[in-house]
Amino acid sequence: MKKVFLSVAVFVVVAATTVFVLVVHGGTNGKKIILDANYSAQYVFPEKPKLGTSILKVTVFGKSGEKVGDLALSASYDMPSMRGHHAFGPAPVAMNKNSDYLLPVHFAMPGDWEIVLKFQKNGELIHTETILLDL
C-alpha cells in the first residue's frame, strides 16, 4: 500500500512540474493578466527560453480588446538565489511596429529566474507583474 501511495505521489509531483514548465516556457498562447479596469496584457516567450538571449513578448490591450501602445513598460530581471550577480534593469522596454513590447532577456546560467514588469500610464504605476521561471 505504501508503494502504491508513493508511486501516485511521485506521478502527481512530476505531472504538476511538467505542466508548470510547459506554461512558463512557451508552447501556449501566453499568460493573460488584468492591469487595471482599462487594460489587460498577455506575455509569452515565442520560443522556449534557453541559455543566452530569449525574447519575451508583451502585448497590451484596451478595454474593448484592441491592441494599444499607450503604456510605458519597464522591466528588470535577476536570479533570486544570486541576487545582483546577473541583474538587469529596471529599463524601458522597446515597442515594435506591431505595438508589441519586446524584452530581450539574457539568461546567463541555468536556474531560477525572476522577471518583473512594471506598467505605467502617464507616469503612474498601474500594475507590477512578476514572472518566475526555471531554466
Residue with cell 499568460: 31
Sequence-separated (6 or more) residues with CB below 8 Å from residue 82:
111
Domain at 2-134: CATH code: 2.60.40
Is pTM beyond 0.85 here?
no
Strands 88-92 and 72-78 turn out to be antiparallel
Cβ atoms of 57 and 63 closer than 8 Å: no
Over the stretch 23-65, which tens digit does the pLDDT of each residue have? 344 434 578 999 999 999 999 999 999 999 999 999 999 999 9
Over the stretch 66-87, which tens digit does the pLDDT of each residue have? 999 899 999 999 999 888 787 8
**Runs of H (alpha helix) within the chain:** 2-24
CA distances, 81 to each of 33, 40, 84, 112 (Å): 26, 30, 9, 7
| Gap between the Cα atoms of 114 and 116, Å rounded | 7
**Residues listed for the chain:** 135
